[in-house]
Structure 1
Amino acid sequence: MTTLSKIAPIQENPAYLGFCKLPEWGLIFVEGPDASNFLQNQLTNSVLGLARTSSSVIAPPSAVRLVGYCSPKGRLLASAWLMLSPQSSSSDDRFALFLSKDIAANIAKRLSMYVLRSKVKVVDASNEWNILGHCSSGNVNDGLALDPSQIGLRLPDVKAEGQTYRRVLIAQPKSSIAFDNENNVLTTWNDLEVLSAIPRIVQATQEQFVPQMINFESVAGIDFKKGCYPGQEIVARSQYRGAIKRRLSLAHISKEHLHGAPLNPGVEIFHGDDASQPAGMVVLSGQNIFDSNRMDLQVECKSEALEHGDIRLGSVDGPVLKIDPLPYPLIEI
């Protein structure tokens, strides 16, 4: 069994595998007798029926859900990975939402505004808990085990260069174990997240996207059969009336072609034939784990702009992005 400690890179694999701190990730707990019904009325995905996962046990994908939290206008304020992790078998429900740290405090505050008389407590635990990532290759039985104070969930696998990689998100109280970061593993984690083509909302991209604009329905982030939630009518109308003409795509660019152009989330992209308005924006970016000169990106873009011409970063005269295929089929709208 492997506990929380550094794992040496596997020599035959160019990627660095093992543990790393995830400084961009935060954690919100939603706890109480009414927590399930409360979140059911707030999130894009159903939270009912999630298996209760105890501490020290890694929740499998079947016990984890990707969720979105929208404004009344149907724009994503946050995306999160959700698991049901009570403090003990006899405790009230406690849901853990793993999301971007830079939006965690505001999302917790906003959720708290809607608690009203419900028996629910919403806590931003981002400053009290470390969020770690663990990467392993698909042909390695790492026997990963957690400390009893920790919680964890397994994310969808990612395929890159013919190899399958497993990813686990782990939360540990900061008071429990000291942990030195492994920057090489962090590079691997960030790139695998980009290559998964599953978006993560950060502060710079809040309220920029109706969920379908970044493929949320195609990565099981929306349940169209559940009840109402903020923005639900707009999200449903976009699905059934075919109102969405934008999609998330993967792209890459060589560092030598960037010429200082930023790759941060929220940076606009342009179609080479239209300088009048942006064609979309960067959602996430990371250095490729096999080629240190290559940067991988998730970009949200007008569908018609992807059909011909160049997609350029930052301006109509900016460096050209190379568009890559998605790792999953899109649900047509």
Structure 2
Amino acid sequence: MTNTSQIQQHWFDNPSSQPCELPDWGLILVEGGDATSFLQNQLTNSVLGINKTLAGQMASGFSGTRLVGYCSPKGRLLASAWLGLFPSADSTEERFALFVSRDIAASIAKRLSMYMLRSKVKVTDLSNDWLVSGLYGSDAQIADFKIGAEYFALRMPDVLVDQQSVGRLLMACPRKNSLYIHNSVERLAAWNELEVLSAIPRIVQATQEQFVPQMINLESVAGVDFKKGCYPGQEIVARSQYRGAIKRRLQLAHTMHHEMNVTPILPGMELFQADDPGQPAGMVVLSAKHPNESERTDLQIECKLDALDAGEIHLGSPDGPVLKIDSLPYPLLEI
């Protein structure tokens, strides 16, 4: 299990009082008079009823921000995103910001644009012109941060560390206004570790079209609304839920570098169960080097449940390093 006391000390003794750049994150804007109805027909989660977040404010809670997935017609995730509604001061039209992995932002924006048809919607990938940053710390540290009028800011779910919550604020602003955002290796490592420990998945290019949402627990972290209308892949996602067809789940795990013979650990790296070496048992979803233990890497993995029950899970090959499976910070919805 994670050495949570060391992690807790790191977060609260070294809060990110200024945002740090998140180079793996990008930003897509969806705006126009039909933006809400357009996204409602594309995403796994409902966007109806989401509150507007005005300049200088942060979107927070389910009323202000939503975790969403974007699927292929086969029900496989092309992207996951954090979404907020940030109206423009000089327009009455809807304007949604989707925080996504930067390596897929351009392709997702292009794909969304293909489905606009005659809708009054504009989809723009701003990843090159806007910089995404992150801030972490206690509730007070997050609340004390002054959000500029040019920022989009949303509060991500806290991460529980040694029975205390670490807050996270995800932001974006035009690069010309990013003077107070630091390129901090230490703070980026801490942010990435928190993201892994949250057990909330993020789709990257290497894991596109690999997972039905339930395979990486998206429904258990409020990323799927089974009561909303149709979206690409909806029938397959619903069938997987109600017929109990999901036999794979996201887990937390870790490994020590001195045990490794494969580096680096990247999303998409395959996992194996020693008794069934002929086929992969799963893959890495996200990974982060531990900020305090230099030899340790924490992982989100997607894995067959029967492989977990059968014995040890190996990283990279059937005789690769053995992964230590850690506890999830939330209960899984029953399927």
TM-score tier, shorter chain, comes to over 0.9
Alignment partner, residue 107 of structure 2:
106
Q: Distance in 2 between matches of 1:306 and 1:267?
A: 17
Alignment partner, residue 157 of structure 1:
158
Alignment partner, residue 182 of structure 1:
184
The superposition leaves residues 214-263 of structure 1 with CA deviations (integer Å, 9 ceiling, x where unpaired) of 00110000000000000000000000000110000000011111133331
Structure 2 residue 235 is the aligned partner of structure 1 residue 239: no
Alignment partner, residue 288 of structure 1:
290
Q: Distance in 2 between matches of 1:180 and 1:36?
A: 34
Superposition deviation, residue 293 in structure 1: 2.1
Superposition deviation, residue 180 in structure 1: 3.0
Question: Contact conserved, 2:142 with 2:167, CA < 8 A, in 1?
Answer: no
Question: Contact conserved, 2:32 with 2:95, CA < 8 A, in 1?
Answer: yes
Bigger shift: 252-261 or 45-54? 252-261
Q: Distance in 1 between matches of 2:307 and 2:253?
A: 14
Question: Contact conserved, 1:54 with 1:89, CA < 8 A, in 2?
Answer: no
Question: Contact conserved, 2:85 with 2:94, CA < 8 A, in 1?
Answer: yes
Question: Contact conserved, 1:136 with 1:142, CA < 8 A, in 2?
Answer: no
Superposition deviation, residue 54 in structure 1: 1.2
Q: Distance in 1 between matches of 2:146 and 2:288?
A: 28
For 1:297, which of 299, 307, 328 is the aligned residue?
299
TM-score, length of structure 1 as denominator length: 0.94
SS in 1 for 2:277: coil
Q: Distance in 1 between matches of 2:255 and 2:239?
A: 35
For 2:198, which of 193, 196, 199 is the aligned residue?
196
SS in 2 for 1:127: coil
Question: Contact conserved, 1:103 with 1:203, CA < 8 A, in 2?
Answer: yes
Q: Describe the shift of the 1:53–1:294 C-alpha distance in structure 2 as closer, same or farther (beyond 3 A).
A: same
Give the counterpart letter for 1:161 in structure 2.
D
Q: Describe the shift of the 1:226–1:196 C-alpha distance in structure 2 as closer, same or farther (beyond 3 A).
A: same
Alignment partner, residue 7 of structure 1:
none
How many residue pairs get aligned? The number is 323
For 2:15, which of 11, 14, 17 is the aligned residue?
17
Give the counterpart letter for 1:322 in structure 2.
K
The root-mean-square deviation of aligned C-alpha atoms, in Å, is 1.5
Alignment partner, residue 3 of structure 2:
none
Q: Distance in 1 between matches of 2:173 and 2:259?
A: 40
Q: Distance in 1 between matches of 2:139 and 2:68?
A: 26
Alignment partner, residue 320 of structure 1:
322
Alignment partner, residue 258 of structure 1:
260
TM-score, length of structure 2 as denominator length: 0.93
Bigger shift: 287-296 or 43-52? 287-296
Instruction: Name structure 2 gaps, 5 residues minimum.
Output: 1-6
Question: Contact conserved, 1:17 with 1:188, CA < 8 A, in 2?
Answer: no
Give the counterpart letter for 1:96 in structure 2.
A
Alignment partner, residue 117 of structure 2:
116
Superposition deviation, residue 138 in structure 1: 4.6
The superposition leaves residues 160-192 of structure 1 with CA deviations (integer Å, 9 ceiling, x where unpaired) of 233320000010101113233111110010000
Alignment partner, residue 79 of structure 2:
78
Q: Distance in 1 between matches of 2:25 and 2:318?
A: 33
Instruction: Name structure 1 gaps, 5 residues minimum.
Output: 1-10
Answer 1 or 2: which has greater helix percent.
2
Q: Distance in 2 between matches of 1:12 and 1:37?
A: 42
Bigger shift: 186-195 or 84-93? 84-93
The superposition leaves residues 92-114 of structure 1 with CA deviations (integer Å, 9 ceiling, x where unpaired) of 10000000000000000000000
